[in-house]
Amino acid sequence: MVIDMVDQWALNRLNFQGCWQGRGTWFGRDSEDRLDLESPVRVMDPTTYDISFSDPETGVWDGSGLFFAPGGHARYDISRSSYNTGGGCWQFQGAGGQSSLVPDSDRRRFGHEINLFHDRSRSMLVLIWEPVGTRWRLQLVGAVGFRCRKTSAPEPKRPVSMPPKAMLTSVEGWTSEAETFRPQPGCIGQVCAAQPSVFVPEQFMRHEQTAVMPAGLIFSVPEYLPDGPYQLEVGCLHTAGLFQQLSIVFDANGHLTSWERRRFLADTQEVDP
């Protein structure tokens, strides 16, 4: 069942319009080639994404403090006509980003950018796998806690950092309705509803790499991409009463089949009869 007739370009504008600024923290491999998710390899402070629209159809993306761009800066014209030509962009109301649809050795990176919004705050996680021999290995993780500079409202208080199990246990039993979006080029793809779901920590912590990042972010992903079906789990504890989850689902051939978003609220916790 389609639950939102707003197209993907309109959701993109709704989610991302603003001047977003925050501290970018990037984690990678240490001197012994081990993934170190505690000591950052680089801190980009500030990281700024200024995204504006001159009319409903066109806009400008202007970024600085960027990890990959030459000189740390990039500027692009954006428009409805050019949006999501490859089919890897996805939008829900309050969540959006872009994904590689399948590992491609010619591109040398298999990446995902996940943005989870609450009011005018935005938590962004970037996950990058790179080929090592015949396998794809998690190489880089970036996290940015953005705040829109074009709002006068105070930033909601973010929960204090805690270990992954403690964070997920605090959400256990909360309920939500899963929303699903499937890859489709352009803007016409629609978000669909699924059956209500209950948060179970063990279903989130499905991989060996489960870690809490800055800005309330948490993820559980494989260090090496597996052969066969799998899914990536990313979440954000925005406040003590709101946890947002994004699942990225892949089939047995390693092709991305869907993004699933859930917003869990504390006052929806199931009560035993």
Question: pTM of this prediction?
Answer: 0.95
Q: What is the pLDDT of residue 269?
A: 64
Q: What is the pLDDT of residue 2?
A: 52
Residues 64, 8: Cα–Cα separation, whole Å = 25
Strand pairing report for 18-27 and 58-64 = unpaired
Q: What is the pLDDT of residue 157?
A: 80
CA distances from 160 to 28, 237, 240 (A): 24, 10, 9
- The DSSP string of 166-216 is HHHHTTTT-EEEEEEE---SSS----EEEEEEE--HHHH--SSEEEE-STT
**Domains in the chain, start-ordered, CATH in brackets?**
8-30+37-268 (2.40.128.20)
Residue numbers of the chain with a pLDDT score lower than 70: 1-5, 268-273
